A and B are shown apart, each in its own frame.
Chain A
Amino acid sequence: MEISVRELRTVLNRVVSKHRDLQTDGFSMESCRAMVSLMDKDGSARLGLLEFQILWNKIRKWLGIFREFDLDKSGCMNSYEMRLALENGGFKLNNKLYQMLIARYADNEIIDFDNFTCCLVKLETMFRIFQGLDRDGTGTVEMNLMEVPNLVLSFYFTAWFWPSGLGPVSRSHVLYSD
């Protein structure tokens, strides 16, 4: 019993449509692919029951954060609310990164729920890949030019490129400088 990217999308869109307080134009195939990719251990592009359950709990947690930091109850995040939400979601970044994320995921400086979720999925993926590569905890990873295409594909094929597994899910991802 496995769920495909397309099926995940259907389920997610059905669920969020029931939450009238959330602004969203629907989850895209790309976001759902990134979600499956993050959870997918065997590279099958499908989620087994356990993987799906873990993902679902994540999304519920993010939904809670989204609601908590949607201070003006607009159904979406502005850049100030987004910063707070990211920090509370366990991602303590720096100004430049917050700005980049908002530029990337916002539509006219507003981030709706599906984009919020997509942002968190990708952030978590990238943090965990980094931690997985930095096994001895030096705080840096070495990268070769030939590995750049892997990065371009990484949200699609996470398990494929990083077969030694992603780093553990720590409770928070903190940038210690800046």
Chain B
Amino acid sequence: MVTSEKEEPVPGFVDSDSGSVSSLPVLCGSSSVSWFRFWSWFPPEAPAVCLLNMFLTRSLIGGIINVVSNIDPSKFKPSDPPPPRRPLNYGEAHENDEEKQFRKVFQQLAGDDMEVSPNELKDILNKVISRHSNLKTDGFSIESCRSMVAVMDSDSTGKLGFHEFKYLWNNIKKWQNIYLSHDKDRSGTIGARELPHAFQAAGFPLNDQLYKLIIRRYSDENGDMDFDNFIGCLVRLDAMCRAFKTLDKDNSGTIDLDIKEWLQLTMYS
């Protein structure tokens, strides 16, 4: 029988004698209060229904909401592909105020190289979730952030440009909303019974066996999945489904892969 191995992604230096771990120094950018007001997804303690309404009226361009309705169980609904890349000037000239604000904050986050590295992503994610006590988490690990950057990183620079970052951010917001609205017992985690509904809402209706394995991989010994694991899992699942759909030109639900395509599809996870 497969034993349930508790997963604890642990970045940092392992002291070979004591086995204790000291964490990597956190690269802190400047963080002014206005940052958090903008970055804060929802008022921390707002009720779920209110949150849903707020989100529906405040979606950023590029984020499409999957409304749960008549999902064909045999079809997954990953997020829509990112918008086509446009010249930088075009993007900037056609932005509304909210997008302009987002871009300003991105520039502050990304630093001189104008791209968000896994470390920078980790920092901003952990900063934001620390303000949401209704999201239980032990923090996003560097491995998880590397994986998230990798699946979004269409030009293989190892970092996220503005559009890649915005796309990821919108997805995380969407999934955060699902997490909150499906955490029925307000535990701050998604329990084994809540998981199937949450995944269905996210567009991934799986089967019992897969849910069991996902729980074994991503949840704790009580079957509870915390926020960083929930997001980590969905980012990978979504990216792979999108990649699959891109390859499935005739939309048959089946693709033939040669070894190159296979490796491209799988090596990101």
Contacts and interface: CB of A to CB of B under 8 A. Distances in A.
A18 B14 CA distance: 12
A28 B10 contact: yes
A89 to B, nearest CB: 14
Nearest to B1: A44
A25 B11 contact: yes
Interface string B244-269: 11001000011111111011111111
Given A100-B268, A148-B237, A155-B269, A17 B8 contact: no
A44 B262 contact: no
Interface stretch (B59-67, B90-98, B149-157, B190-198): B149-157
A146 interface: yes
Contact of A141 (B19, B256, B267): B256
Given A25-B12, A153-B213, A94 B260 contact: yes
Contacts of B258: 139-140
Contacts of A5: 5
Interface stretch (A6-14, A53-61, A63-71): A6-14
Interface in A123-149: 123, 126-127, 130, 139-146, 148-149
A25 to B, nearest CB: 6
B266 A154 contact: yes
A33 B212 CA distance: 18
Contact of A44 (B3, B14, B213, B241): B3
Contact of A103 (B8, B21, B156): B156
A100 B233 CA distance: 20
A121 to B, nearest CB: 11
Interface in B202-237: 204, 206, 210, 213-214, 216-217, 233, 236-237
Interface residues of B, number: 61
Contacts of A150: 210
A25 B254 CA distance: 41
A33 B5 contact: yes
B88 interface: no
B266 A177 contact: no
A140 B2 contact: no
Interface in B1-40: 1-3, 5, 7-14, 16, 19, 21, 24
Contact of A142 (B216, B254, B267): B254
A140 B74 contact: no
A156 B5 CA distance: 10
Interface residues on A, range: 35 or more
A17 B146 CA distance: 24
Nearest to A43: B2
Q: For A28, A96, A122, A141, which residue has the most chain B Cβ atoms within 10 angstroms?
A: A28
Given A45-B5, A157-B213, A151 B240 contact: yes
B158 A106 contact: yes
Given A149-B237, A155-B269, A97 B2 contact: no
Given A33-B5, A96-B264, A104 B240 contact: no
B240 A148 contact: yes
17 contacts: A13-B19, A25-B13, A25-B14, A26-B13, A26-B21, A30-B7, A43-B2, A103-B157, A103-B158, A104-B146, A139-B258, A140-B257, A140-B258, A145-B248, A149-B237, A154-B266, A156-B217
Interface of A: 4-6, 10, 13-14, 17-18, 25-30, 33, 43-46, 93-94, 96-97, 99-109, 122-123, 126-127, 130, 139-146, 148-157, 160, 175, 177-178
Interface of B: 1-3, 5, 7-14, 16, 19, 21, 24, 74-76, 117-118, 141, 143, 146-147, 150, 153, 156-158, 204, 206, 210, 213-214, 216-217, 233, 236-237, 240-241, 244-245, 248, 253-260, 262-269
Given A30-B143, A33-B5, A146-B253, 7 more contacts: A96-B264, A97-B264, A104-B146, A130-B263, A142-B254, A142-B256, A157-B216
